[in-house]
Amino acid sequence: MPMIALLLLAVALAMDAFAAALSQGAAARPRPTAAMALRVALAFGGAQALMPLLGWSLGLAFASIIREVDHWIAFALLSVLGARMVWTGMRAGEAPEGNSAEGQQASPDLSVGWGLVTAALATSIDAAAAGITVPLLNHSIVFACVVIGGVTFLLSGAGVLLGGAWGALLGRRAEIAGGLVLIGLGCKILIEHTMLNGG
């Protein structure tokens, strides 16, 4: 039973990362590669594994501070990333068909560099506060972090590849849709914490 509870927690925490990975896979041109899926999976899984350890190690006092601001941080980061993806997708859609330079204008790539780091942190902030509850599941913090990170790794990698199939069907509209998913994700986190949890 404690193992089932831990797996359910891991899946719940991985859902934001999965949605972000799905949107990035959809926006990839021409299609996401296995290397891209691996990079996203490693970054999201690694962040999701480390954040509960951070929250647990810094204790309940710091967790209460995290709960007060985590939703605003995640909302801001995901909204900025999403807005950039929507803007780039709309600009590309307005470009003449023959203008390859405009059509190939770089979108915010969440699979490399700071875009990847930002997305990984934004989708794993909740896990820091969740780390406080991990010992209540009768598992060691290290084991729990490995399970949480592993589940996120698998779901994020799958999300990138699934998003690629979605993007192939929708074309550039997938980039706009992916950006809207990130903005919606930020709004969901904000609403859950401020209205549903009374934060």
pLDDT score of 4: 82
Amino acid at 153: F
pLDDT in tens, the chain (199 residues): 668 878 888 888 888 888 888 888 887 777 888 999 999 999 999 999 999 888 788 765 666 666 777 778 778 877 887 887 788 777 765 554 444 444 444 455 667 788 888 888 888 887 877 777 676 677 888 998 999 999 999 999 999 998 888 776 666 666 677 778 778 878 887 887 777 665 5
Greatest CA separation for the chain: 61
pLDDT score of 112: 76
pLDDT score of 40: 93
Identify the DSSP state of 105. P
Q: Which two tokens stand for residue 106?
A: 């770089």
pLDDT score of 28: 79
pTM of the model: 0.71
pLDDT score of 102: 42
CB 44 within 8 A of CB 21: yes
pLDDT score of 101: 41
Q: Which two tokens stand for residue 57?
A: 């190690």
pLDDT score of 44: 95
Q: Which residue has the tokens 């972000």?
A: 20
